[in-house]
Chains A and B, each alone.
Chain A
Amino acid sequence: MKPVNQKAWLLILPVVVCVAFSAILPLMTVVNYSVQDIISPERRVFVGTEWFKAVMRDDDLQGALLRQIGFSVSVLLVEIPLGIALALAMPASGWKASAVLVLVAISLLIPWNVVGTIWQIYGRTDIGLLGAALAKLGFDYSYTGNATHAWLTVLLMDVWHWTPLVALLCYAGLRAIPDAYYQAASIDGASKLAVFRYIQLPKLRGVLMIAVLLRFMDSFMIYTEPFVLTGGGPGNATTFLSQYLTQKAVGQFDLGPAAAFSLIYFLIILLLCFVLYNWMQRVGTADKKEAGHG
């Protein structure tokens, strides 16, 4: 068991100050707006939970929410295994390791609007490599006209963009496994599959939890890339939650409903992440009891 030490608060105080300073004040402001009707800067009326009710009653919200959940789940299902596989395939040392690291990390470094722009061109059948290739292969590919194609393109773009995040986390996690484990496994006559199952995967639990939560959160809030690529279309096929929020807020010119929606949005993510987090913790508690934790 970890020793109890209340003085540890001193170590986390800088972090709490930094984050609270940046987070709590704005959050209080948002809560403030969400319960008021701001007709003009001077005239504010307290309306309690009215905005919240209005937002929840909105039919379009349900659609956007379902689309969003579908998207985030798909993202996790593809990116997590792919990221692990990539991390296992990346060389562990030498100049090749450095070169591969740089190549893999490139997609993370591109500003998100540029990512959307690249894929916009990339997916066009007339001037883009992907589009032209698909057209050549006989597909009637159109991410602007066909809802399924749009979905798949947005998903593919996200996989291209963010799988390296999972891969880098797993790669670092793999490097943190002491050689002695592999040596002992070799002495015990373990197969490569056994090494993956009994040594690598358990030791990756920590970083995988971070990867899953991060990708879930970020994909749930995704805005720029799909907006630039498809504009939410065709129709509202790829209009996910954050774009929906922006449409509402911009349309309303009213901070009240927008603030209320932001809070609901935040609470949805919070709830889902909390559930995910606790589930993963329970699955991994026995391991955390080892060396230094629990």
Chain B
Amino acid sequence: MALIELDLAHAYGANPRSDDDYALLPLKMSFADGGAYALLGPSGCGKTTLLNIVSGLVKPSQGSVRFDGVDVTGRTPQQRNIAQVFQFPVIYDTMTVAENLAFPLRNRGVAPERIARRVGQVAEMLELSGQLHQRAAGLAADAKQKISLGRGLVREDVSAVLFDEPLTVIDPHLKWQLRRKLKQIHHELKLTLIYVTHDQVEALTFAEQVVVMTRGRAVQVGSASELFDRPQHTFVGHFIGSPGMNFLPAEAADDGLRVAGHRVAAAPAALRGLGPLTLGVRPEYVTLAAAEAEGAVRGTVTRAQDIGTYWLVTAQVGDDAASVVRARLGSHGPVPKAGDAAWLRIVGPRTCFYGADQNLVFEGAAA
């Protein structure tokens, strides 16, 4: 188990000039010993590259990686004592489950009795004890992934376990079982776990801290509630949540806060003079309001879907097609139908305002 500190950047070519040349823009990050982290982002954002740099499969073009203060940038994964679980199960086909689990220890020359004991322990933890003497090749995908994981856990001094979208090939109804198992292992063994995924549900349920990434940049690191309530970047607001945050162009003018062409509320002092802004509000925090209420806009409902536990209402609030607001409204209480006019409160304590660089400048209603 180790504290992992990163201070690096990674570019494909030799002389990176613009941001596009970087796979990972310069970042500084640390992963606490025993913490469970997720690297979350869409395809191509650099999360797998970052994972491979931590594990040692990729060497960063600039900067360093430190384990417990020691510079390991030049060391191989084996030397760093890392364990990695890949997107599809990687097992040794010709060996049994027990032989698979024993392999890393045999390569290190560990005594056979210790190997047997350790394999037994890990198999028990992963619920593989009954299959120890079966050929690994004949098992289902989820069992194979457990074996991959097991090979990492079997080393008692493993510094961190890294996961690269490990549930990709697992049947949906088995995914939650594996996820639960991972949380259990984290709880028992207190290992540093870093988990790469593009699925926010996986990330938010698995990790204590989530690193949201896009296009080579880590835009926010925080807990699930931090990411949800206080997205530091419009990308976080958009990516997290189902559906994501609503975004409308806004400006703090002399007569107040103008959104989508109409005066909506008094402008908070912090926003005055900042030029064009983006207002962001999550559908969960959009409520129905009385006509002309402070902080509300008028919209025409284009769609009202009954999701079961809530209604998802989509309304057109401005002239251009992008000015759309989605609201999650409780099933109890009035719900407008398609075609109705409705007033939706969008400025409230949870409303976020973003500047031209997409970063958060202010959260809340008018002071």
Contact = CB atoms under 8 A, between A and B. Distances in A.
Interface of A: 178, 180-181, 183-184, 186-191, 194, 198-199, 202-203, 286-287, 289-290
B103 A188 contact: yes
Contacts of A198: 92, 94-95
A186 B103 contact: no
Contacts of A189: 78, 104, 107-108
By secondary structure, the B interface counts as mixed
Given A187-B77, A187-B83, A202-B94, A287 B108 contact: no
A194 to B, nearest CB: 7
Nearest to B154: A188
B208 interface: no
B108 to A, nearest CB: 6
B86 A184 contact: yes
A286 B103 contact: no
A179 to B, nearest CB: 9
Contacts, number: 62
B82 interface: yes
A187 B82 contact: yes
Given A183-B84, A184-B84, A194-B107, A290 B94 contact: no
B137 interface: yes
B118 interface: no
B358 interface: no
Contacts of B92: 198-199, 202
Nearest to A294: B138
B95 A286 contact: no
B10 interface: no
7 contacts: A180-B87, A183-B57, A184-B86, A187-B77, A202-B92, A202-B94, A286-B135
Interface of B: 55, 57, 76-78, 82-84, 86-88, 90, 92-95, 103-104, 107-108, 135, 137-138, 148, 151-152
Contacts of B83: 187
Contacts of B76: 186
A286 B138 contact: yes
B51 to A, nearest CB: 12
A16 B152 CA distance: 48
A144 B138 CA distance: 55
Given A187-B104, A187-B152, A202-B94, 18 more contacts: A178-B88, A184-B84, A184-B148, A184-B151, A186-B78, A187-B82, A187-B83, A188-B104, A188-B151, A189-B78, A189-B107, A189-B108, A202-B92, A287-B93, A287-B137, A289-B138, A290-B137, A290-B138
Nearest to B152: A187
Contacts of A183: 57, 77, 84, 86, 90
